[in-house]
């Protein structure tokens, strides 16, 4: 066989191998969540199962993180394909609010869906005597990891209530589970958590010892002055020993992706979630509040074109 012909055959074989490799390349979907004792993580696991079964060639993973702020920075850097984040943090990321943890505007971010609300849950040990926000003065409290979505919520709420961290006796910057353990051990008086209702760490605390849920009045919510913060309620009976509704702050959670995720993958991620909401609700009860009708409302960043295609097919968008 002539050398030139042999080389041509090798080239053709190489090209076929390369094209086959491209076709067989897996689609990686890394889902960025939060602490394992929060709500983001179990819902993220639920989504990963849907995508693993429903998106051909996908390889899914779920990453526990410090939640909103870290998630959004990781997405911008291309180190994840889907993330949970609080609506106010998403707006701050898009605008590059440095004090909120964003050194520059994160313009690669794209929305998949507005989902369920987070509720600010301020819970104190009953023997601390804390019953109101003002009672937190001089007390020991945890407010979430530094510059996490929870901690940014804490700053906004205390400011609206005419308080600051300086008014508190001791401030710890710890995630859900660690905060609860310190309250059990009498090393903290209270914790402020931003999470879906029925959060595991607070359920654990409420079943272990008598606790008080501290109200955040509607007038404080109004003084925050951000459309991301709405008056909400923790319904009576959400936790053991909670016999009355507790007024608080509600903030929408957003599922976020980035512009380099393909339109088809973003479309499939959106469609599979809404086609399987009942199943997703078994991952965590908070997912039962995800509604197709409200998924595109009040988003502070653009929709991903793949998600937009799904919403047009579903009749949510024209």
Residue 57 has pLDDT above 70, yes or no: yes
177-187: pLDDT as tens digits: 899 999 999 99
pLDDT of residue 1: 52
Cα–chain-centroid distance for residue 152? 14
Alpha-carbon distance of 217 to 232, in angstroms, equals 9
pLDDT of residue 223: 96
Mean pLDDT in residue range 143-151 = 87
pLDDT of residue 18: 43
Mean pLDDT in residue range 70-95 = 96
Across the chain, mean pLDDT equals 92
Alpha-carbon distance of 270 to 296, in angstroms, equals 12
In this prediction, residue 22 has a pLDDT band, given cuts at 50, 70 and 90, of: very low
Of 68-72, 113-117, 142-146, which range is least confident?
142-146
**In the chain, pLDDT over 90 holds for what percent of residues?**
83
* 167, burial (CB in 10 Å: exposed 0-12, middle 13-18, buried 19+): middle
For the chain, the residue count is: 318
DSSP 263: H
Domains and CATH numbers, the chain: 27-116+252-314 (3.40.190.10), 118-251 (3.40.190.10)
Mean pLDDT in residue range 4-13 = 51
Alpha-carbon distance of 89 to 72, in angstroms, equals 8
Residue 121 has pLDDT above 90, yes or no: yes
* 289, burial (CB in 10 Å: exposed 0-12, middle 13-18, buried 19+): middle
């Amino acid at each position: 066989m002539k050398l030139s012909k042999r080389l041509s055959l090798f080239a053709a074989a190489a090209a076929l191998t390369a094209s086959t490799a491209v076709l067989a390349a897996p689609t990686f979907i890394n889902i960025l969540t939060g602490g394992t004792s929060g709500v983001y993580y179990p819902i993220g696991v639920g989504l990963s199962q849907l995508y693993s079964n429903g998106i051909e060639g996908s390889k899914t993973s779920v990453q526990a993180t410090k939640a909103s702020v870290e998630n959004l920075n990781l997405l911008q850097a291309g180190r994840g394909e889907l993330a949970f984040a609080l609506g106010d943090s998403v707006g701050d990321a898009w605008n590059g609010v440095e004090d909120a943890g964003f050194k520059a505007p994160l313009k690669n971010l794209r929305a998949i869906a507005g989902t369920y609300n987070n509720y600010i849950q301020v819970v104190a040990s009953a023997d601390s005597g804390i019953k109101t926000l003002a009672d937190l003065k001089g007390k020991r409290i945890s407010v979430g990891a530094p510059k996490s979505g929870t901690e940014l919520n804490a700053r906004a709420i205390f400011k609206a209530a005419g308080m600051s961290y300086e008014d508190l006796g001791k401030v710890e910057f710890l995630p859900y589970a660690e905060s609860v353990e310190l309250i059990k051990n009498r090393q903290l008086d209270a914790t402020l958590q931003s999470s879906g209702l029925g959060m595991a760490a607070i359920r654990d605390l409420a079943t272990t010892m008598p606790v008080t849920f501290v109200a955040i009045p509607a007038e404080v919510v109004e003084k925050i002055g951000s459309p991301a913060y709405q008056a909400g309620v923790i319904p009576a009976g959400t936790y053991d020993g909670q016999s009355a509704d507790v007024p608080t702050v509600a903030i929408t959670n957003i599922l976020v992706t980035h512009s380099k995720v393909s339109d088809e993958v973003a479309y499939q991620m959106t469609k599979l979630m809404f086609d399987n909401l009942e199943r997703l609700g078994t991952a965590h009860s908070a997912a039962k509040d995800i509604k197709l009708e409200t998924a595109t409302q009040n988003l502070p960043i653009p929709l991903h074109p793949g998600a937009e295609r799904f919403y047009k097919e579903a009749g949510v968008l024209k």
